[in-house]
């Protein structure tokens, strides 16, 4: 009779008493697969601790077994009491990193009987959330737009032209013989000469969404385009000054 006949090839044993426990049923499928990888490294004769690096576990488990997932499954197995760390990760004498070593609680370890810590699980589920990778975050931002902020409409600051180009009828107010109503045009941009209602209208244009506004075909029609950023105080003063200048021109044309 041939020796070894009927013997099974190498296999990973999973005890029926273990997979019937509530702690095992609460495990994720990834944690169960990782436990099978660890169990395959246990030697019943040596009663040794087992270890596997996250890189090797990622290769053995295949698809969807990224390095963050593997590390999370290690913590999950610890939480439910299937493994206990006996040696943390460290650098060896040759300078290379060593993976943590684990004790399987359902197996003998260096002459000590199994502790089966998973039988003492208190029913608290493992609630650590899986962290999204940068690729997943970018996909969510691009496709679903959950992180996109709505841009509000605002007047665009008119172009600032030189004083020579803007000089006209107002220029005569510089003469002492014609001082009067035209003198109000000589002012600083920061002087509080603005109508409060016009200021409130300016704020309303900024806070409201962009909508088409029917206006006369003026040179300032670009004021209602979407800006790259909120105008500053000086730009706001230029906007209001241009508005007043346009209103004065309309009054003169009407006269």
The domains of the chain, with CATH numbers, are: 16-143 (1.10.10), 163-254 (no CATH)
Number of residues that this document lists for the chain: 255
Whole-number Å distance between alpha carbons of 15 and 118:
13
152-183 pLDDT, tens digit per residue, is 444 444 444 444 444 455 544 444 554 445 54
Please, are residues 231 and 157 in contact by the beta-carbon 8 Å criterion? yes
Whole-number Å distance between alpha carbons of 202 and 206:
7
Q: Which residue has the tokens 């997943």?
A: 136
The reported pLDDT for the residue numbered 179 is 47
Whole-number Å distance between alpha carbons of 30 and 66:
11
Whole-number Å distance between alpha carbons of 18 and 48:
19
Residue spans of the chain under pLDDT 50: 143, 145-167, 171-175, 178-180, 183-192, 219-224
Compute the CA torsion angle 178, 184, 186, 189 (nearest 10 deg): -170
Whole-number Å distance between alpha carbons of 251 and 255:
6
For 88, half-sphere exposure in the C-beta direction (CA atoms, 13 angstrom radius) is 1
The reported pLDDT for the residue numbered 64 is 79
Whole-number Å distance between alpha carbons of 168 and 233:
26
Whole-number Å distance between alpha carbons of 153 and 204:
9
The reported pLDDT for the residue numbered 245 is 80
The reported pLDDT for the residue numbered 252 is 78
Please, are residues 52 and 40 in contact by the beta-carbon 8 Å criterion? no
What sign does the dihedral 48-50-7-13 (CA atoms) show? positive
Q: What is the pTM of this model?
A: 0.51
Please, are residues 146 and 81 in contact by the beta-carbon 8 Å criterion? no
């Amino acid at each position: 009779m041939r020796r070894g006949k009927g013997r099974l090839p190498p296999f990973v044993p999973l005890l029926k008493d273990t997979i019937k426990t509530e702690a095992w049923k609460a495990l994720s499928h990834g944690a169960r697969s990782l436990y099978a990888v660890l169990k395959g490294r246990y030697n019943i004769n040596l009663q040794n601790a087992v270890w596997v690096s996250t890189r090797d576990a990622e290769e053995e488990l295949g698809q969807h077994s990224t390095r963050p997932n593997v590390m999370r499954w290690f913590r999950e197995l610890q939480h439910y009491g299937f493994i206990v760390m006996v040696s943390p990760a460290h650098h060896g004498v040759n300078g290379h990193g060593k993976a943590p070593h684990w004790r399987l609680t359902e197996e003998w370890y260096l002459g000590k009987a199994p502790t089966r810590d998973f039988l003492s699980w208190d029913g608290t589920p493992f609630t650590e959330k899986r962290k999204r990778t940068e690729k997943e975050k970018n996909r969510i931002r691009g496709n679903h737009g959950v992180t996109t902020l709505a841009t509000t409409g605002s007047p665009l600051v008119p172009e600032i032209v030189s004083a020579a180009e803007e000089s006209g009828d107002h220029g005569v107010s510089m003469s002492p013989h014609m001082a009067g109503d035209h003198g109000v045009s000589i002012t600083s941009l920061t002087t509080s000469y603005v109508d409060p209602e016009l200021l409130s209208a300016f704020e309303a244009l900024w806070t409201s969404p962009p909508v088409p506004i029917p206006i006369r075909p003026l040179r300032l029609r670009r004021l209602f385009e979407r800006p790259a950023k909120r105008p500053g105080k000086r730009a706001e003063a230029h906007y209001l000054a241009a508005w007043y200048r346009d209103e004065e021109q309309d009054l003169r044309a009407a006269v």
